[in-house]
Amino acid sequence: MIKKIFKIVATIIKIFLVLTIVLFVGFVLLQRLSNNNKTVLGYRMFAVVTGSMEPVYKIGDVILVKTVDTNTLKEGDDVTYLGKEASFKDKVITHRIIKIEEKSGVKVFHTKGVATNSEDPTIEGNQIYGKVTKKLTILSFFHKYSSGNVGFFFFVVLPIMLLVGTEIVQTMLEKYEKKAKKTIDQNNQSVHEQILTAQADENQVQEETHNVSNQLVIPAQATVEPAQQQVQQPTEEQLQQELQALQQQVAAQQQVQQPTEEQLQQELQALQQQVAAQQQVQQPTEEQLQQELQALQQQVAAQQQVQQQPTEEQLQQELQALQQQVAEQQQNNQQ
Protein backbone atom coordinates (compact mmCIF):
# COMPACT_ATOMS: atom_id res chain seq x y z
CA MET A 1 0.00 0.00 0.00
CA ILE A 2 2.81 2.45 0.94
CA LYS A 3 4.70 1.56 -2.21
CA LYS A 4 1.61 2.25 -4.27
CA ILE A 5 1.06 5.66 -2.60
CA PHE A 6 4.73 6.59 -3.07
CA LYS A 7 4.52 5.64 -6.71
CA ILE A 8 1.42 7.79 -7.20
CA VAL A 9 3.05 10.81 -5.47
CA ALA A 10 6.25 10.41 -7.48
CA THR A 11 4.26 10.21 -10.69
CA ILE A 12 2.35 13.40 -9.82
CA ILE A 13 5.59 15.26 -9.04
CA LYS A 14 7.19 14.10 -12.27
CA ILE A 15 4.16 15.13 -14.28
CA PHE A 16 4.11 18.54 -12.59
CA LEU A 17 7.81 19.16 -13.24
CA VAL A 18 7.58 17.98 -16.82
CA LEU A 19 4.55 20.16 -17.50
CA THR A 20 6.22 23.16 -15.87
CA ILE A 21 9.37 22.79 -17.92
CA VAL A 22 7.46 22.11 -21.10
CA LEU A 23 5.20 25.14 -20.61
CA PHE A 24 8.12 27.37 -19.77
CA VAL A 25 10.20 26.26 -22.72
CA GLY A 26 7.14 26.38 -24.96
CA PHE A 27 6.29 29.93 -23.92
CA VAL A 28 9.85 31.12 -24.40
CA LEU A 29 10.26 29.45 -27.76
CA LEU A 30 6.89 30.72 -28.96
CA GLN A 31 7.68 34.30 -28.01
CA ARG A 32 11.17 34.26 -29.45
CA LEU A 33 10.15 32.64 -32.67
CA SER A 34 7.19 34.99 -33.07
CA ASN A 35 9.09 38.04 -31.78
CA ASN A 36 6.57 38.35 -28.92
CA ASN A 37 3.68 38.72 -31.33
CA LYS A 38 2.01 35.44 -30.32
CA THR A 39 0.21 34.71 -27.08
CA VAL A 40 -1.17 31.64 -25.37
CA LEU A 41 -4.73 32.36 -24.33
CA GLY A 42 -3.82 36.03 -24.23
CA TYR A 43 -0.79 35.58 -21.98
CA ARG A 44 2.95 36.11 -22.46
CA MET A 45 5.90 35.38 -20.20
CA PHE A 46 8.92 37.57 -19.79
CA ALA A 47 12.09 37.41 -17.74
CA VAL A 48 13.38 40.46 -15.84
CA VAL A 49 16.96 41.24 -16.89
CA THR A 50 17.64 44.48 -14.97
CA GLY A 51 17.09 45.75 -11.47
CA SER A 52 15.04 48.78 -12.43
CA MET A 53 11.90 47.29 -10.81
CA GLU A 54 13.46 46.07 -7.60
CA PRO A 55 12.33 45.15 -5.03
CA VAL A 56 9.06 44.36 -6.82
CA TYR A 57 10.70 42.31 -9.57
CA LYS A 58 14.27 41.12 -9.27
CA ILE A 59 16.69 40.10 -11.95
CA GLY A 60 15.78 36.63 -13.21
CA ASP A 61 12.14 36.78 -12.15
CA VAL A 62 9.60 35.44 -14.62
CA ILE A 63 6.47 37.52 -14.95
CA LEU A 64 3.14 36.73 -16.55
CA VAL A 65 1.74 39.45 -18.79
CA LYS A 66 -1.89 39.55 -19.94
CA THR A 67 -3.06 41.35 -23.05
CA VAL A 68 -5.61 43.99 -22.03
CA ASP A 69 -7.44 46.95 -23.50
CA THR A 70 -5.14 49.93 -23.02
CA ASN A 71 -8.14 52.12 -22.14
CA THR A 72 -8.49 50.08 -18.91
CA LEU A 73 -4.95 50.85 -17.77
CA LYS A 74 -4.41 53.31 -14.95
CA GLU A 75 -1.62 54.87 -12.98
CA GLY A 76 0.27 52.38 -10.80
CA ASP A 77 -0.18 49.46 -13.24
CA ASP A 78 2.96 47.60 -14.25
CA VAL A 79 3.10 47.11 -18.01
CA THR A 80 5.45 45.48 -20.48
CA TYR A 81 6.09 47.33 -23.73
CA LEU A 82 8.44 47.53 -26.68
CA GLY A 83 10.67 50.63 -26.64
CA LYS A 84 11.09 52.72 -29.78
CA GLU A 85 13.25 55.66 -28.77
CA ALA A 86 16.81 56.31 -27.59
CA SER A 87 18.37 53.57 -25.52
CA PHE A 88 14.99 51.75 -25.16
CA LYS A 89 14.65 51.11 -28.89
CA ASP A 90 13.70 47.48 -29.72
CA LYS A 91 13.95 46.49 -26.08
CA VAL A 92 11.22 44.86 -23.98
CA ILE A 93 10.69 47.01 -20.94
CA THR A 94 8.63 46.34 -17.83
CA HIS A 95 7.96 49.55 -15.89
CA ARG A 96 5.19 51.20 -13.88
CA ILE A 97 2.74 53.77 -15.29
CA ILE A 98 3.12 57.04 -13.44
CA LYS A 99 0.93 59.25 -15.63
CA ILE A 100 -1.60 59.02 -18.48
CA GLU A 101 -2.49 61.88 -20.81
CA GLU A 102 -3.88 62.50 -24.27
CA LYS A 103 -2.09 64.29 -27.08
CA SER A 104 -3.92 65.00 -30.32
CA GLY A 105 -6.59 62.49 -29.31
CA VAL A 106 -4.09 59.74 -28.59
CA LYS A 107 -3.39 58.34 -25.11
CA VAL A 108 0.21 58.75 -24.04
CA PHE A 109 1.64 56.75 -21.09
CA HIS A 110 4.48 57.93 -18.86
CA THR A 111 6.44 55.09 -17.22
CA LYS A 112 9.52 54.62 -15.07
CA GLY A 113 11.25 51.95 -13.06
CA VAL A 114 10.55 51.64 -9.34
CA ALA A 115 14.26 51.81 -8.55
CA THR A 116 15.06 54.62 -11.04
CA ASN A 117 14.56 58.35 -10.82
CA SER A 118 14.41 59.12 -14.51
CA GLU A 119 11.26 58.76 -16.57
CA ASP A 120 11.11 56.59 -19.66
CA PRO A 121 10.32 58.01 -23.09
CA THR A 122 6.56 58.26 -23.49
CA ILE A 123 4.76 55.35 -25.12
CA GLU A 124 1.48 54.80 -26.87
CA GLY A 125 -1.00 51.99 -26.55
CA ASN A 126 0.23 50.10 -29.62
CA GLN A 127 3.60 49.59 -27.93
CA ILE A 128 2.18 47.88 -24.86
CA TYR A 129 2.18 44.03 -24.75
CA GLY A 130 0.02 43.88 -21.68
CA LYS A 131 -0.35 44.27 -17.95
CA VAL A 132 1.77 42.32 -15.48
CA THR A 133 -0.59 40.03 -13.55
CA LYS A 134 1.81 38.09 -11.33
CA LYS A 135 5.30 36.78 -10.78
CA LEU A 136 5.80 33.05 -11.40
CA THR A 137 7.83 32.00 -8.36
CA ILE A 138 8.71 28.44 -9.40
CA LEU A 139 9.69 29.41 -12.91
CA SER A 140 11.60 32.36 -11.50
CA PHE A 141 13.61 29.98 -9.32
CA PHE A 142 14.48 27.73 -12.24
CA HIS A 143 15.22 30.70 -14.49
CA LYS A 144 17.60 32.32 -12.02
CA TYR A 145 19.66 29.18 -11.47
CA SER A 146 19.54 28.01 -15.07
CA SER A 147 20.54 31.23 -16.73
CA GLY A 148 24.26 30.30 -16.94
CA ASN A 149 25.65 27.29 -18.76
CA VAL A 150 26.31 25.35 -15.56
CA GLY A 151 22.95 26.24 -14.10
CA PHE A 152 21.20 25.38 -17.33
CA PHE A 153 22.85 21.96 -17.31
CA PHE A 154 22.03 21.17 -13.68
CA PHE A 155 18.55 22.66 -13.59
CA VAL A 156 17.28 21.97 -17.08
CA VAL A 157 19.33 19.38 -18.94
CA LEU A 158 20.09 17.11 -15.99
CA PRO A 159 16.51 17.00 -14.63
CA ILE A 160 15.23 16.25 -18.11
CA MET A 161 17.81 13.47 -18.48
CA LEU A 162 16.86 12.11 -15.06
CA LEU A 163 13.18 12.18 -15.89
CA VAL A 164 13.73 10.50 -19.23
CA GLY A 165 16.14 7.98 -17.71
CA THR A 166 13.74 7.24 -14.88
CA GLU A 167 10.95 6.66 -17.34
CA ILE A 168 13.16 4.37 -19.40
CA VAL A 169 14.30 2.41 -16.33
CA GLN A 170 10.75 2.19 -15.02
CA THR A 171 9.52 1.00 -18.39
CA MET A 172 12.27 -1.61 -18.53
CA LEU A 173 11.49 -2.72 -14.96
CA GLU A 174 7.80 -3.02 -15.77
CA LYS A 175 8.64 -5.09 -18.83
CA TYR A 176 10.99 -7.24 -16.73
CA GLU A 177 8.32 -7.68 -14.05
CA LYS A 178 5.76 -8.63 -16.68
CA LYS A 179 8.20 -11.09 -18.22
CA ALA A 180 9.12 -12.50 -14.80
CA LYS A 181 5.44 -12.77 -13.88
CA LYS A 182 4.72 -14.47 -17.19
CA THR A 183 7.60 -16.90 -16.58
CA ILE A 184 6.36 -17.61 -13.05
CA ASP A 185 2.83 -18.17 -14.36
CA GLN A 186 4.17 -20.53 -17.01
CA ASN A 187 6.23 -22.38 -14.41
CA ASN A 188 3.21 -22.62 -12.12
CA GLN A 189 1.13 -23.88 -15.01
CA SER A 190 3.84 -26.40 -15.91
CA VAL A 191 4.04 -27.61 -12.30
CA HIS A 192 0.25 -27.86 -12.18
CA GLU A 193 0.25 -29.87 -15.40
CA GLN A 194 2.98 -32.15 -14.01
CA ILE A 195 0.92 -32.68 -10.86
CA LEU A 196 -2.14 -33.52 -12.95
CA THR A 197 -0.05 -35.87 -15.09
CA ALA A 198 1.35 -37.57 -11.99
CA GLN A 199 -2.15 -37.95 -10.56
CA ALA A 200 -3.37 -39.38 -13.87
CA ASP A 201 -0.43 -41.82 -13.93
CA GLU A 202 -1.17 -42.83 -10.33
CA ASN A 203 -4.85 -43.40 -11.19
CA GLN A 204 -3.81 -45.42 -14.22
CA VAL A 205 -1.44 -47.56 -12.13
CA GLN A 206 -4.19 -48.12 -9.56
CA GLU A 207 -6.60 -49.08 -12.33
CA GLU A 208 -4.09 -51.46 -13.91
CA THR A 209 -3.37 -52.99 -10.49
CA HIS A 210 -7.11 -53.46 -9.94
CA ASN A 211 -7.47 -55.06 -13.39
CA VAL A 212 -4.55 -57.42 -12.73
CA SER A 213 -6.08 -58.37 -9.37
CA ASN A 214 -9.40 -59.09 -11.07
CA GLN A 215 -7.61 -61.13 -13.74
CA LEU A 216 -5.92 -63.19 -11.04
CA VAL A 217 -9.01 -63.60 -8.86
CA ILE A 218 -11.50 -64.50 -11.61
CA PRO A 219 -9.53 -67.52 -12.97
CA ALA A 220 -8.94 -68.68 -9.40
CA GLN A 221 -12.66 -68.49 -8.74
CA ALA A 222 -13.32 -70.23 -12.04
CA THR A 223 -10.90 -72.98 -10.96
CA VAL A 224 -12.35 -73.31 -7.46
CA GLU A 225 -16.00 -73.43 -8.52
CA PRO A 226 -15.67 -76.52 -10.78
CA ALA A 227 -13.61 -78.17 -8.03
CA GLN A 228 -16.34 -77.41 -5.55
CA GLN A 229 -18.87 -78.75 -8.02
CA GLN A 230 -16.76 -81.86 -8.40
CA VAL A 231 -16.62 -82.24 -4.62
CA GLN A 232 -20.23 -81.39 -3.94
CA GLN A 233 -21.82 -83.20 -6.92
CA PRO A 234 -21.02 -86.94 -7.36
CA THR A 235 -20.20 -87.93 -10.91
CA GLU A 236 -22.30 -90.30 -12.98
CA GLU A 237 -19.71 -93.02 -12.45
CA GLN A 238 -19.93 -92.58 -8.68
CA LEU A 239 -23.71 -92.72 -8.82
CA GLN A 240 -23.55 -95.93 -10.92
CA GLN A 241 -21.19 -97.49 -8.38
CA GLU A 242 -23.49 -96.48 -5.51
CA LEU A 243 -26.45 -98.00 -7.44
CA GLN A 244 -24.63 -101.27 -8.00
CA ALA A 245 -23.62 -101.40 -4.33
CA LEU A 246 -27.20 -100.80 -3.28
CA GLN A 247 -28.43 -103.50 -5.66
CA GLN A 248 -25.89 -105.91 -4.23
CA GLN A 249 -27.04 -104.98 -0.71
CA VAL A 250 -30.65 -105.69 -1.72
CA ALA A 251 -29.69 -109.03 -3.20
CA ALA A 252 -27.69 -109.94 -0.11
CA GLN A 253 -30.57 -108.92 2.10
CA GLN A 254 -32.90 -111.09 0.08
CA GLN A 255 -30.52 -114.04 0.57
CA VAL A 256 -30.44 -113.57 4.35
CA GLN A 257 -32.66 -116.31 5.74
CA GLN A 258 -35.18 -115.28 8.30
CA PRO A 259 -35.85 -117.82 11.13
CA THR A 260 -38.88 -119.87 10.05
CA GLU A 261 -41.81 -120.73 12.28
CA GLU A 262 -40.70 -124.40 12.27
CA GLN A 263 -37.30 -123.39 13.63
CA LEU A 264 -38.95 -121.27 16.32
CA GLN A 265 -41.21 -124.27 17.26
CA GLN A 266 -38.15 -126.50 17.47
CA GLU A 267 -36.40 -123.99 19.73
CA LEU A 268 -39.58 -123.80 21.85
CA GLN A 269 -39.75 -127.59 22.18
CA ALA A 270 -36.07 -127.65 23.13
CA LEU A 271 -36.69 -125.08 25.78
CA GLN A 272 -39.74 -126.99 27.05
CA GLN A 273 -37.65 -130.15 27.27
CA GLN A 274 -34.97 -128.16 29.11
CA VAL A 275 -37.62 -126.85 31.49
CA ALA A 276 -39.00 -130.32 32.06
CA ALA A 277 -35.51 -131.56 32.79
CA GLN A 278 -34.94 -128.78 35.24
CA GLN A 279 -38.33 -129.54 36.80
CA GLN A 280 -37.26 -133.11 37.26
CA VAL A 281 -33.99 -131.99 38.85
CA GLN A 282 -35.09 -129.02 40.82
CA GLN A 283 -38.81 -129.63 40.80
CA PRO A 284 -39.88 -126.02 40.54
CA THR A 285 -43.46 -125.18 41.12
CA GLU A 286 -45.93 -124.90 38.28
CA GLU A 287 -46.32 -121.18 38.84
CA GLN A 288 -42.55 -120.59 38.45
CA LEU A 289 -42.49 -122.59 35.26
CA GLN A 290 -45.34 -120.57 33.81
CA GLN A 291 -43.53 -117.31 34.58
CA GLU A 292 -40.30 -118.51 32.98
CA LEU A 293 -42.23 -119.64 29.92
CA GLN A 294 -43.89 -116.26 29.51
CA ALA A 295 -40.55 -114.44 29.93
CA LEU A 296 -38.97 -116.71 27.31
CA GLN A 297 -41.82 -116.09 24.86
CA GLN A 298 -41.46 -112.32 25.37
CA GLN A 299 -37.70 -112.59 24.75
CA VAL A 300 -38.30 -114.49 21.57
CA ALA A 301 -40.82 -111.93 20.37
CA ALA A 302 -38.44 -109.01 21.19
CA GLN A 303 -35.58 -110.75 19.36
CA GLN A 304 -37.75 -111.20 16.30
CA GLN A 305 -38.59 -107.49 16.32
CA VAL A 306 -34.90 -106.52 16.68
CA GLN A 307 -33.67 -108.89 13.97
CA GLN A 308 -36.30 -107.83 11.45
CA GLN A 309 -34.49 -106.69 8.29
CA PRO A 310 -35.86 -103.99 5.95
CA THR A 311 -38.57 -105.33 3.76
CA GLU A 312 -38.22 -105.80 0.02
CA GLU A 313 -40.68 -102.96 -0.59
CA GLN A 314 -38.42 -100.48 1.30
CA LEU A 315 -35.39 -101.58 -0.71
CA GLN A 316 -37.30 -101.11 -3.97
CA GLN A 317 -38.22 -97.53 -2.95
CA GLU A 318 -34.56 -96.68 -2.18
CA LEU A 319 -33.54 -98.18 -5.54
CA GLN A 320 -36.07 -96.01 -7.42
CA ALA A 321 -34.91 -92.83 -5.60
CA LEU A 322 -31.29 -93.60 -6.53
CA GLN A 323 -32.23 -94.21 -10.20
CA GLN A 324 -34.01 -90.81 -10.29
CA GLN A 325 -30.87 -89.10 -8.88
CA VAL A 326 -28.74 -90.77 -11.60
CA ALA A 327 -31.16 -89.58 -14.34
CA GLU A 328 -31.04 -85.96 -13.04
CA GLN A 329 -27.22 -86.04 -12.96
CA GLN A 330 -27.13 -87.22 -16.61
CA GLN A 331 -29.45 -84.36 -17.63
CA ASN A 332 -27.19 -81.77 -15.86
CA ASN A 333 -24.11 -83.14 -17.59
CA GLN A 334 -25.82 -82.95 -21.01
CA GLN A 335 -26.72 -79.27 -20.37
Three-class SS state of 315: helix
**Residue 60 or residue 234, greater confidence:** 60
- Determine which of 121-135, 152-166, 294-308 has the lowest per-residue pLDDT on average: 294-308
Q: Which range is most confident: 40-49, 198-207, 311-320?
A: 40-49
Per-residue pLDDT, 77: 95
Per-residue pLDDT, 222: 56
**Residue 21 or residue 217, greater confidence:** 21
Per-residue pLDDT, 279: 58
What is the rounded average pLDDT of the residues 130-136?
93
CA torsion angle for 106, 112, 113, 114 (degrees, to 10)? -110
Q: Would you kindly state where each structural domain of the chain is located, as residue ranges?
A: 2-145, 236-334
Reply yes or no on whether the pLDDT at 145 is more than 60: yes
Q: In this predicted model, what pLDDT tens digit does every residue of 230-281 receive, in sequence order?
A: 545 667 777 778 777 877 776 776 665 555 667 767 777 777 777 677 656 5
- pLDDT class of 155 with cuts at 50, 70, 90: low
Structural fold of domain 2-145? Umud Fragment, subunit A (2.10.109)
Instruction: Dump the DSSP string for 77-132.
Output: -EEEEE--SGGGTT-EEEEEEEEEEEETTEEEEEEE-TT-SSPPPPEEGGGEEEEE
Q: Residues 6 or more apart from 147 whose CB is under 8 A from it? A: 60
- pLDDT class of 224 with cuts at 50, 70, 90: very low
